[in-house]
Amino acid sequence: MAVKIRLTRIGRHKDPFFRVVAADSHYARDGRIIEQIGYYDPAKGIESAVIDEELALKWLNAGAQPSDTVKAMFNRKGINAKYVANKKAK
């Protein structure tokens, strides 16, 4: 099972809101998910994204691949730096 950390769209027409989720890459974008990691409102910007660092690091350590947008969020929140430091420590 190839797990991806990606965004699923929720919200109204022309008013997007996204959940950051861990999902099997074979399922549809808004389909079945494994676990919700956080959420993101593009009207407020990437800085306002709420991400559970503990869950994000758990999935990254398990081998999940983040999408490009989620990777940018992780870089801004410092999650990617913690993941790299943890990986080098091992």
Span 43-68, pLDDT tens digits: 998 888 999 999 999 999 999 999 99
User: How far is residue 4's CA from residue 71's CA, in Å, rounded to a whole number?
Assistant: 11
> 64 with 4: CB under 8 angstroms?
yes
Number of neighbours of residue 39 by Cβ within 10 angstroms: 17
Average pLDDT, the chain: 93
Q: What is the pLDDT of residue 87?
A: 87
Q: How far is CA 82 from the centre of its chain?
A: 15
Domain count, the chain: 1
Q: Residue 61 belongs to a domain with what CATH number?
A: 3.30.1320.10
Domain that holds residue 78: 3-89
> 6 with 67: CB under 8 angstroms?
yes
CA atoms within 13 A on the CB side of 79: 24
